Amino acid sequence: MTTETSLLTAADVRAAAARIRPYARRTPLFDLEIDGRRVLLKLEYLQRGGSFKLRGALNAMLSGPLDRHIVAASGGNHGLAVATAASLLGVSATVYVPATAPEGKARRIEAGGARLVRHGATFAEAAAAAAADAARPGHRYLHPYDDPAVVAGQGTVAAEIVADAPDAGTLVVAAGGGGLAAGTALAADGRRVVAVEPENCRCLHDALAAGEPVDSPVDSVAASATGASRVGDVPFGVLSARPREEVTSVLVGDDEILRARDRLWEECRIAVEPAAALPFAAWLAGRVPGDLPCLVLCGANTDWVAR
């Protein structure tokens, strides 16, 4: 596993795929027509733990000697991924979440076997406490997105799409701290990658505009999964190094996100959390360029109710 961001390549994604294969599900593709347009949906919400995050957690934990105890901070999905991966690999885990973490995600983290600690009002406060807790022998802090092994693991979603649907021209993902978008860019084999964020949770969009990671506000119905206030250095290094025509940043409003989430249920009987509907929202709004896009529906870890 490479450790320098600039050296991350598709080979790291292939190695991650082999590493996690005994534990992670290969999720299916759904080929359908909506509003007279053909679109592919990658049903990653069917992943163990309910989101793509399991892939990065597994790859990071398996990339070296297995630590005795894993410590993580999360708005929910990464924490559940760490709890699931730790259970699969036979190690213990502690997950710090902010007080704002959805109850459904917190409940699932505990059910997954991890010790849950609520700390602070923001992810940053929970992360600081988790990092301090992890500074003990036999403990490891596992970052949700700013880690080369995590980025490579997340890229296995796109690697499956490329293998299963080689005619897909555009890969569309939700973006929070940037790990999934960066991994997707590594595995896209020259295809355009569209990273979609809420209008008021836009740290990747702001970083690409500024030419460097910057602090951004966090205020969205999808904030529990896309609520990073600053894009990770590792993901930004990967994405900013790609040709401009290969990476597109798109923003959608909260109303568009909720309408897209509800329409997935009404038309496909697919129930996902708001963040997972971001790619569908952008596609419905006509903001996804290219032919035959594949939209990654990345997670379903919330107590879902129709409006």
Q: What is the distance between the alpha carbons of residues 192 and 126, in angstroms, rounded to a whole number?
A: 34
| Confidence grade of residue 2 (pLDDT, cut at 50, 70, 90) | very low
Q: Would you state the structure tokens that stand for residue 74, as one six-digit string?
A: 């999360």
Rounded to 5 degrees, φ, ψ at 229 are -85, -10
For the chain, give the mean pLDDT: 92
Q: What is the distance between the alpha carbons of residues 277 and 41, in angstroms, rounded to a whole number?
A: 11
> What residue type is 75 in one-letter code?
G
Q: What is the pLDDT of residue 307?
A: 52
10 Å CB burial of residue 166 (0-12, 13-18, 19+) is exposed
Q: What is the pLDDT of residue 305?
A: 56
> What residue type is 191 in one-letter code?
R
Does residue 304 surpass a pLDDT of 60? no
Q: What is the pLDDT of residue 78?
A: 92
| Confidence grade of residue 240 (pLDDT, cut at 50, 70, 90) | very high
Q: What is the pLDDT of residue 29?
A: 98
Over residues 230-249, mean pLDDT: 94
Over residues 278-282, mean pLDDT: 98
Over residues 209-224, mean pLDDT: 91
- Tokens 């879902």 belong to which residue? 304
Q: Would you state the structure tokens that stand for residue 26, as one six-digit string?
A: 């290969």
| Confidence grade of residue 161 (pLDDT, cut at 50, 70, 90) | very high
Four-residue CA torsion sign, 17, 9, 189, 208: positive
Q: Would you state the structure tokens that stand for residue 199, as one six-digit string?
A: 């209008």
Over residues 2-16, mean pLDDT: 80
Q: What is the distance between the alpha carbons of residues 226 and 126, in angstroms, rounded to a whole number?
A: 16
- Tokens 């027509």 belong to which residue? 33
Over residues 159-180, mean pLDDT: 97
Does residue 4 surpass a pLDDT of 70? no
CA-closest candidate to residue 235, choices 127, 128, 150, 134: 150
Over residues 58-87, mean pLDDT: 92
Distances (CA, A) of 170 to 73, 166, 193, 272: 31, 10, 6, 21
Q: Would you state the structure tokens that stand for residue 6, as one six-digit string?
A: 């600039």
Q: What is the distance between the alpha carbons of residues 272 and 274, in angstroms, rounded to a whole number?
A: 7
Half-sphere exposure of 148 (CA within 13 A, CB side): 16
Q: What is the pLDDT of residue 55?
A: 98
Does residue 250 surpass a pLDDT of 90? yes
Q: What is the distance between the alpha carbons of residues 234 and 278, in angstroms, rounded to a whole number?
A: 23
